[in-house]
């Protein structure tokens, strides 16, 4: 009887170990070893191999059975993963994880019986997402990590608990360290919220930590060169220079840009530095151009500035509506749950996006809409629900106000008009509406194309309308889930890196508590947004800019205008891990430590605050961001004096209501989803904590692009995350150059071949990239990923989720 599939029945006696069982197991292991090469000394799995452990446990010292078999070829062709089927014990775990968890189905069983083996579908080389999960699950050394090959024996390394620094999924990872070097990343399937699942970036993207181009010493600009100096020299010079600017032009002549990737502690200290040490609210971040609209939309429409639900809810919910997001690439943990919900729990899935995404394979219906028409499409679904009387009348009557106004604002528009504008057939809109409305539980998932919409705040408010109309908030397995592509976007906003709100989204008028604790009066008037900073720099009103871990020349619209404006600054300080293009322009450059070299917390897309620990020493002279800011602050006369980031967290917990009672000890391995309720975390936000009122909407019809022109879209790809992953060897092996995806039919009609150079120009600017012919984009649409420096998409797309472009073969 096999224990794993024999049902337990009343009265059954279960023996888990006996002499007979020992012998049976010993025999089973012997059979496994019949054709297993005894190459443990050169196998990377040695020391953590299940078969090796079992052979030891059952005292097997030699192979007593022999067969003549031919060795299979080792796969040296596929990137990142090496397959050695000679070591394979045919357990099938890799096929299961690839199929059932990752939904990729990239490997399969071939042949039967003794000849059975596992091969990449379609043959070598392996062509998949390279999530690396098959390596993690393989009990033996049949699948190994090429980046780790021969780097260390596993017992020589220590595993340091940490959090992935890439997307808003916030997967818990372990940095495997030897001699102050991170050699690989693993994750534990029992103690982590991600159940040990990682994506390619988490598994293979850690290489940036040891990139040779890391900034390692402070730099000061002398004439046109940046010269290395000591920390004392750099900080003293920067402080003296800044003092002069403040005394001549006042504190509002100084501004700062915070980081979506830095820790909560770093960002908290950064905004505090501006409000106390300098005395201005001029502090913002790249979120101004995207995620801030999400926060504003949710705060205004629902009274809650983040996801009111959790990834876990996605798994058990009955209907999922995804709009404007390639969830698989943007925030993989949410997509794993969505795939599981559809395949194992019968959830209905509706995916609306202008280009094809992986989730469509699992959807009941895909709604391919014209770029920029998100607001119309959601309105169509709402309209169909109301016209058919499918709204949740009891829920609305009991909980939600303003229903009449919502109905009124929809009067002037018809579903036919919406179908025409969006290019989504009316029947598809109605079916989606019926399913969202009639299922008892449901989640709405929205991402990059929503945050970057010209009316992003209104789109989010309309999604809230849809959730309220169908009663899909305030309960388990219901809610709105934003798909966040940068790891600490939620945390940075929670920490108050915004010109108009204090930490915890508290109003500037409510600054008394802060003033008391910080011993300083805080500025009353709101500061300048990132966009307003640009104009103020051009006008000479802002003379000093402190940039921490962000890059306006890659992340912001109008990079050329920024490049010119930065030249006008009297004081530009860039604090970063790498010498970016903006750091090259700086008067002072401060080298910062990576997440692997310091301690702190990140808050992920489901409000989960998680702690990471220092695994290695900071690279040469690099320092944690909070420490650099504190040192500068002391020289400027405001005495910040934290000796450890846990003290910053204590202050955060005392000032930010959502983080009340949080301490490093309480966070544990799984972290905590804020706000703490009776000492427990909040996987979903109950109705009593939400504002429940429909928003009336006004919207402009998006113009169609002119004939002969194309829609250009951008976004993240599965192998990269922002520009950070372009400094890491793993993701770069899979692709390190920009490309433009063009529909097959369009390519044929223009006479484009794979690899041809394509010039792309909009009213804002031009770029060029080699063509990739693809069925992912529909006719009339092209896609260029935003990671690569040689094709800066922010030159072409500005303050919208698409650009109208002309394309020519170049
Ligand atoms: S790396 Fe991931 S996607 Fe590729 S074969 Fe392994 S499990 Fe499947
Ligand atoms: S998980 Fe490893 S041992 Fe098991 S079938 Fe796959 S390659 Fe073979
Ligand atoms: S990038 Fe996101 S999904 Fe991938 S391992 Fe990191 S946190 Fe997890």
Contact indicator for 497, 283 with CB cutoff of 8 Å = yes
Query: Which pair of structure tokens corresponds to residue 175?
Result: 């940095």
130 CA to middle of ligand 1, Å?
5
Lining ligand 1 with CB less than 6 A are: 81, 97-98, 102, 104, 106-107, 128-134
| Confidence class for position 765, pLDDT limits 50, 70, 90 | very high
> Quick one: which ligand is closest to 146's CA?
1
- How much is the pLDDT for 114? 80
Query: Which pair of structure tokens corresponds to residue 552?
Result: 């306006």
Mean pLDDT of the chain: 96
- Rounded distance between C-alpha atoms, residue 295 and residue 494, angstroms: 10
- How much is the pLDDT for 328? 97
Q: Which atom in ligand 2 lies closest to the alpha carbon of residue 89?
A: 3
Contact indicator for 492, 729 with CB cutoff of 8 Å = no
333 C-beta closer than 6 A to ligand 3: yes
What contacts 436, CB < 8 A, 6 or more positions away?
319, 321, 350, 381, 385, 442, 466, 470, 472
- How much is the pLDDT for 417? 95
Whether 1 has a pLDDT exceeding 80, the answer reads: no
- Rounded distance between C-alpha atoms, residue 397 and residue 319, angstroms: 23
Indicate left, alpha or beta for 686 from its phi (over 0: left) and psi (-120 to 50: alpha): beta
322 CA to middle of ligand 3, Å?
19
150 CA to middle of ligand 2, Å?
20
Q: Which atom in ligand 2 lies closest to the alpha carbon of residue 93?
A: 1
- Rounded distance between C-alpha atoms, residue 52 and residue 331, angstroms: 36
Cα 287–Cα 522–Cα 591 angle in degrees, nearest 5: 50
What contacts 309, CB < 8 A, 6 or more positions away?
443, 478, 479, 480, 481, 606, 683, 684, 685
- The closest alpha carbon to 500, from 257, 283, 290, belongs to 283
Q: Tell me the average pLDDT across 48-54.
A: 96
From residue 646, alpha-carbon distances to 163, 495, 609, 631 in Å are: 17, 15, 13, 17
- How much is the pLDDT for 64? 85
| Confidence class for position 489, pLDDT limits 50, 70, 90 | very high
Measured by CA distance, the residue closest to atom 2 of ligand 2 is 138
719 CA to middle of ligand 1, Å?
13
- How much is the pLDDT for 699? 73
Q: What is the pLDDT of residues 277-298, one digit of tens each?
A: 999 999 999 999 999 999 999 9
Whether 808 has a pLDDT exceeding 90, the answer reads: yes
Calculate Rg over the CA atoms of the chain. 28
Beta strand 158-163 with 107-110 is unpaired
> Quick one: which ligand is closest to 78's CA?
1
- Rounded distance between C-alpha atoms, residue 424 and residue 801, angstroms: 18
Task: Supply the angle between the helices 559-568 and 530-539 in degrees, to the nearest 10.
Answer: 50
134 CA to middle of ligand 1, Å?
6
- The closest alpha carbon to 162, from 123, 188, 141, 142, belongs to 188
From residue 795, alpha-carbon distances to 134, 288, 764 in Å are: 39, 17, 6
331 CA to middle of ligand 3, Å?
7
| Confidence class for position 276, pLDDT limits 50, 70, 90 | very high
535 CA to middle of ligand 3, Å?
36
Measured by CA distance, the residue closest to atom 2 of ligand 1 is 131
Pocket residue to mutate for ligand 3, from 103, 197, 199, 486, most atoms within 8 A of Cβ: 199
Beta strand 81-83 with 143-145 is antiparallel
Task: Supply the angle between the helices 426-438 and 415-422 in degrees, to the nearest 10.
Answer: 110
Beta bridge partners of 348: 319
Instruction: Tell the burial category of 331 from Cβ atoms under 10 Å away from its Cβ (0-12, 13-18, 19+).
Output: buried
| Confidence class for position 240, pLDDT limits 50, 70, 90 | very high
Q: What is the pLDDT of residues 311-322, one digit of tens each?
A: 999 999 999 999
Q: Tell me the average pLDDT across 636-649.
A: 97
237 CA to middle of ligand 1, Å?
51
Q: Which atom in ligand 3 lies closest to the alpha carbon of residue 167?
A: 2
| Confidence class for position 652, pLDDT limits 50, 70, 90 | very high
261 CA to middle of ligand 1, Å?
27
171 C-beta closer than 6 A to ligand 3: yes
Q: What is the pLDDT of residues 74-132, one digit of tens each?
A: 999 999 999 999 999 999 999 999 999 999 999 999 999 888 999 999 999 999 999 99
Q: Which atom in ligand 1 lies closest to the alpha carbon of residue 101?
A: 7
| Confidence class for position 9, pLDDT limits 50, 70, 90 | very high
- Rounded distance between C-alpha atoms, residue 770 and residue 759, angstroms: 9
Query: Which pair of structure tokens corresponds to residue 528?
Result: 């300048």
Q: Is the peptide bond before 675 cis (omega within 30 degrees of 0)?
A: yes
Lining ligand 2 with CB less than 6 A are: 88-94, 118, 137-140, 142-143
Instruction: Tell the burial category of 538 from Cβ atoms under 10 Å away from its Cβ (0-12, 13-18, 19+).
Output: middle
- How much is the pLDDT for 46? 96
- The closest alpha carbon to 705, from 372, 375, 450, belongs to 372
| DSSP labels, 128-143 | S----HHHHH-SSTTE
- Rounded distance between C-alpha atoms, residue 176 and residue 164, angstroms: 13
Q: Which atom in ligand 2 lies closest to the alpha carbon of residue 83?
A: 7
Measured by CA distance, the residue closest to atom 8 of ligand 1 is 98
Provide the 3-class DSSP secondary structure of residue 601: strand
Q: What is the pLDDT of residues 687-713, one digit of tens each?
A: 999 999 999 987 778 889 999 999 999
- How much is the pLDDT for 113? 84
Contact indicator for 592, 225 with CB cutoff of 8 Å = no
């Amino acid at each position: 009887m096999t224990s794993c599939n024999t049902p337990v029945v009343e009265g059954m006696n279960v023996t888990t170990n006996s002499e007979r069982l020992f012998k049976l197991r010993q025999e089973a292991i012997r059979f496994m070893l019949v054709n297993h090469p005894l190459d443990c000394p050169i196998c990377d799995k040695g020391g953590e191999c299940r078969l090796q452990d079992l052979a030891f446990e059952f005292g097997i010292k030699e192979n007593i059975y022999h067969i003549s078999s031919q060795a299979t070829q080792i796969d040296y062709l596929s990137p990142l993963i090496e397959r050695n089927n000679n070591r394979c014990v045919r357990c099938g775990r890799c096929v299961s994880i690839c199929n059932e968890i990752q939904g990729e189905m990239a490997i399969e069983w071939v042949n039967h019986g003794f000849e059975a083996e596992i091969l990449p579908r379609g043959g070598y080389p392996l062509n998949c997402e390279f999530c690396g999960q098959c390596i993690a699950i393989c009990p033996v050394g049949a699948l190994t990590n090429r980046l780790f090959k021969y780097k260390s024996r596993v017992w020589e390394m220590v595993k340091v608990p940490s959090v992935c620094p890439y997307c808003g999924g916030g997967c818990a990872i372990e940095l495997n360290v030897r001699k102050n070097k991170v050699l690989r990343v693993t994750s534990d399937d029992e103690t982590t919220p991600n159940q040990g699942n990682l994506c390619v970036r988490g598994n293979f993207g850690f290489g940036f930590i040891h990139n040779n181009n890391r900034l390692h010493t402070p730099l000061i600009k002398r004439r046109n060169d940046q010269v290395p100096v000591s920390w004392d020299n750099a900080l003293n010079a920067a402080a003296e220079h800044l003092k002069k600017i403040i005394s001549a032009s006042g504190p509002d002549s100084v501004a700062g840009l915070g980081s979506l990737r830095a820790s909560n502690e770093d960002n908290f200290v950064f905004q505090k530095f501006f409000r106390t040490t300098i005395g201005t609210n001029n502090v913002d971040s790249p979120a101004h151009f995207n995620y801030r609209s999400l926060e504003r939309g949710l705060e205004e429409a629902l009274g809650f500035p983040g996801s009111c639900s959790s990834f876990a809810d996605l798994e058990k919910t009955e209907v999922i509506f995804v709009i404007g997001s390639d969830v698989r690439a943007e925030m993989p943990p949410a997509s794993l749950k969505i795939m599981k919900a559809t395949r194992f729990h019968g959830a209905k899935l509706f995916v609306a996006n202008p280009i094809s995404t992986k989730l469509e394979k699992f959807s009941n219906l895909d709604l391919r809409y014209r770029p920029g028409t998100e607001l119309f499409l959601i309105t169509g679904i709402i309209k169909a629900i109301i016209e058919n009387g499918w709204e949740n009348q009891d829920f609305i009557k009991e909980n939600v106000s303003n229903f009449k106004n919502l109905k009124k604002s929809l009067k002037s528009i018809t579903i036919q008009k919406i179908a025409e504008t969006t290019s989504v057939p009316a029947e598809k809109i109605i079916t989606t509406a019926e399913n969202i409305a009639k299922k008892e539980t449901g989640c709405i998932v929205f991402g990059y194309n929503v945050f970057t919409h010209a009316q992003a705040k209104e789109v989010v408010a309309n999604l809230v309308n849809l959730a309220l109309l169908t009663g899909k908030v305030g309960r388990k397995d219901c809610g709105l889930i934003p798909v966040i592509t940068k790891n600490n976007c939620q945390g940075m906003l929670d920490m108050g890196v915004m010109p108009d709100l204090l930490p915890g989204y508290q109003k500037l008028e409510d600054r008394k508590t802060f003033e008391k604790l910080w011993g300083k009066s805080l500025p009353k008037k709101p500061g300048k947004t990132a966009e307003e900073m640009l104009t103020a720099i051009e006008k000479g009103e802002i003379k000093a800019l402190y940039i921490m871990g962000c890059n306006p020349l890659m992340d912001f619209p109008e990079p050329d205008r920024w490049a010119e404006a930065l030249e006008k600054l009297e004081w530009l300080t860039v604090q970063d891990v790498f010498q970016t293009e903006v750091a090259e322009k700086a008067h002072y450059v401060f080298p910062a430590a990576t997440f692997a070299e310091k301690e702190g917390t990140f808050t992920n897309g489901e409000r989960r605050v998680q702690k990471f620990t220092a695994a290695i020493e900071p690279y040469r002279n690099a320092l944690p961001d909070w420490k650099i800011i504190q040192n500068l602050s002391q020289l400027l006369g405001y005495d910040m004096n934290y000796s450890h980031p846990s003290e910053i967290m204590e202050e955060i917990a005392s000032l930010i209501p959502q983080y009340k009672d949080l301490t490093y000890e309480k966070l544990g391995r799984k972290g905590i989803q804020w706000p703490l309720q009776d000492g427990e975390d909040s996987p979903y936000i109950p109705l009593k904590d939400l504002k429940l009122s429909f928003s009336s909407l006004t919207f402009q019809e998006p113009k169609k692009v002119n004939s002969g022109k194309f829609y250009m879209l951008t976004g993240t790809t599965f192998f990269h995350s922002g520009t950070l992953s372009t400094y890491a060897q793993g993701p770069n092996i899979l692709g390190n150059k920009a490309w433009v995806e063009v529909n097959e039919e369009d390519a044929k009609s223009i006479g484009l071949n794979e690899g041809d150079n394509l010039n792309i120009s909009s009213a804002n600017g031009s770029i060029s990239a080699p063509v990739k012919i693809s069925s992912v984009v529909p006719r009339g649409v092209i896609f260029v990923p935003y990671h690569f420096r040689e094709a800066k998409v922010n030159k072409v797309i500005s303050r919208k989720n698409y650009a109208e472009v002309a394309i020519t073969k170049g």
